Structure 1
Amino acid sequence: MSDRMVRDAASPNAGPSGGEGHSEAGGGSGAFRGTAAQSSVAGGSATQQPSGRSSIRRRLLLLCLVALAFLSGLMLLEMRESARVGANNAYDRVLLGSALAISDRVLVVDGALEVDIPFVAFEMLTSTAEDRVFYEIYTQDGAFLTGYDDLPDPPRRLLQSLLRQDQENIFYDAVYKGEKIRVALVSRFIAAPDFSTRYFVKVSETTLAREQLIASMVQEAVLRQMTLVLVAGALFWFGIGWGLKPLSRLKEALQRRSPDDLRPIEHKVPGEVQHLVDGINDLMARLESSITAMRSFTSNAAHQLRTPLSVIRTQTELALQSSQQDTPEGRQGAGQSDLDKRLRYLVQATDQSTRLVNQLLSLATATNGRSGDLERERLDLRDLASEVTGAFVPRALERSIDLGLENCDQPCPVQVNSPLIVEALGNLLDNALNYCPAGSRVTVRLHSGENGITLEVEDNGPGLAPELRGKVFERFERTGQTDSVGCGLGLPIVQEIMSRHGGQVTLHEAPGGGCLFRLTLDRAADDAIPEETVSGGGEAGQD
């Protein structure tokens, strides 16, 4: 297989296989190979909204409903009292008419009082509630004339008012034989030539009819209040929602932004929340300044480190060569062997440091700026895949790894930043060649579909354990491997690049074992290349 070089097998039967390769986050031969689980990382995925938090809309609605319920309760209490007063006034007039009718039939006969109770006096008290009627007639000195002699007496205050003739009649509530009654008391003075006295007429009835009337009026009032509260609640709900529309539009505008879009918010909002927007804008400005300073420091530090690292490596190699040349034959002892070993370790450490610096530069380039600021060009991904794969052929031959390309027989137009895509594919190939043993097979495969362009890097290496797949895209994560040249930045760089392009990178298990990394990009439109820079992922950052 090692003499296969680059397979440009643009066969229509070459379909996508399931699973992909290695990672800088990995390490040695068994770093990134798994069996069943699949790990997927989408570039630029939307942040899920946190659940279980209080809502301004619900809080305002609850406050309004509580206030309405409290006011409705007060109104119902006032309504019940008004209904009681109204019912008593209506029934008291009838009760008083009955008492007056009886009092008019009290006569003096042969020096004594006689009562001829008219039938109409009780007829007017009949009701559908079947209330019971009681009466009593007695004189001022306590002589009982007729009726029920055990009817409750009125309160002393009312009785004194009646005796002072401040009132001609009084009404009061009492309990008689376990039932609530309403009593009308009428006082009259009768005089004859040989006899004069004051007499009292009590007429009472149970309060069943009154209570039914009051309950009916209160029930109707409760229904009206409940209807009012429900209608007001619905109006409040939609009204508050309408009032909060600017905040909803602000939220949607922020959600459309990419994570690296820290432009000030210029969305129109109500004056009550303008101070909040001003605070967010101030935070974004400070955050962007901090991120810019950090990226600038990383880039500058990486640039400054490249030169001394190159000098150290060169000087170390020269020292190693000089040590081997200056040592006479047969005199190379244990000390000299130890010195050579240390110099080789120094070369290896310098190479790893140089690789780290280069990847820090790549990461700074991949994360610098917003998706909308990314300069893109229209190209056929087949040409780029062939060029990058061909550049890795010498290294694959050196490691006895079969590197091939299964290109697509259809155009694969994409609108991308070419250096970044070259970096992403190069990192995947570098990762595969680093962690696959000699005799392995690494394949670059390209597919063109209606939903986009898919670029795959597959190998049949030892694979990645399922529990480690979720960590491969974390920065500086090497999943416990310490014996490799990786520094844990290759796959995070690929993820950042795909995120800026609005695409995604996913990790799968290859059909024959090993790993398969799949890059997905949007297909470019068939029209001409636009004059202005095309923004990836839509107008994500507009307010």
Structure 2
Amino acid sequence: MTSAATMPGPRARPARAGDSLRRRLLLFLLVPVSITVVLVSVLVYAVASRYSDRVYDEGLLEDAYGLAKVLKATDSDALSPQAAFLLEYNKLGHNYYSVRSLRRGVLSASHEAIPPGPAPRLDGDAQFYDTAIGGVRSRAVALAVPAPADPSDTLVVTLAETVQDRQLRAQQILLMSILLQLVLTAVLLALMWSGVSRGLRALDPLIGRLARHGQELVPVGDVPVPAEIRPLSATIDALLERIRRLFVSQEHFIADAAHQLRTPLAGLALHAERARSSADESQRADALAQVQVLTMRLARTATQLLALSRAQAPVEAAAPMAPLRLDQRVPEILGEHVARAMRADVDLGYEGPDEALTVRADAYALHDALGNLIDNALSYVRRGGTVSVALRRHGESARVSVDDDGPGVAESALPRLGDRFFRAPEAIEGGTGLGLAIVRRIADRHDARVAFARSRLGGLRVELDFPLIAPDAPSGRVAPLIAEPR
């Protein structure tokens, strides 16, 4: 079952070989900047075009008011040919005019009639509207004024102009806006390139620190880097620390193996040479018997060394822990030693609980720990002796105890039990001094307490206290039976 701590998260797109962080950052910045530039260009064009139209409308309105003043000043409803020519003149297009009486109809107009638009009121504002004259788009304004010759009549003065001039100005504004935005984009790209390049230089101290120390596993967390880079340096430090612990564990294993295997291998070579060179059949048989004993010792030592290596492995490299029923697991492990106990005529007993006792444990490591305790007890009891294994609740812990009626260990030597290669003076020949060390390392990893004392049977008593958990706790995060204080 996969624990919550190891559930995979969403996978990021893997970086291709040759990917450039600078290029990727610039691309990430270029997309929003380009969109912004386009939007700003459209907005500038719309605002400028609207402002230009307003300026043209104001000019057209002024011309309409001017025409109304001319009519009032001349006290006539008709225009002179010179005034009509000036009104119609337009460098890029054409202008149109119309003077219409509400009572008498059209009094004066350009050769192209202006389509009527919204009727203006005498006391109201001028009316602007879009129209088409001779198939050409035009803009018109209508203004109502009193008739000079008949104050009871109303004249509607209408002026119109084609929009070619406006369109030309709009194109000029758009071209100018595009040129300005292109210059602005180039400047922004140069600033982004410079900013990203300067920002990436913050990685130089980190890279230099790693390059200077070469093969040394020196932390880089003290290198001054920006806050955004600190998670990276912390991750590098954590990785270096894990590698360092793996190297230390490997060095310890090599040292332990050299320490433990040197003597048996030398003995094997010696007795093998005796068996090969001896002419006496009894001496040859004795030498071969010693070879067999040493071979078994080597096999046991290798097994113990591998178990110790697993127990000392860093937490990251160890197998995940999961809820485990001790009341079911302990009898299974005990059953593996029944045959050996029967051969040695040892009374191997077990006392179990009346309830389920669940702990958070690595099943393989737990098997190594309890197997070593039972094996150690069976090795020290005499023929016809007794080994008792018990499992019971002890407060909020599950206690596994192993008692034997062997020679025991002196009080002064009890604190050193569990040290690597330590063997009490009462220890039997052929031991490795690793069994209880394995138990202590496994207990430490499980937050368990291990204690050594004098057994009520007369030999050694070893106690292992594992913290109990709720039986239905998930494998990733296990809830203790007692709530932690807030």
TM-score by length of 2: 0.45
TM-score by length of 1: 0.40
Indicate the structure whose relative CO is greater, using CA pairs within 8 Å and at least 6 residues apart. Answer: 1
- Kindly indicate which of the two structures has a greater share of residues assigned to helix: 2
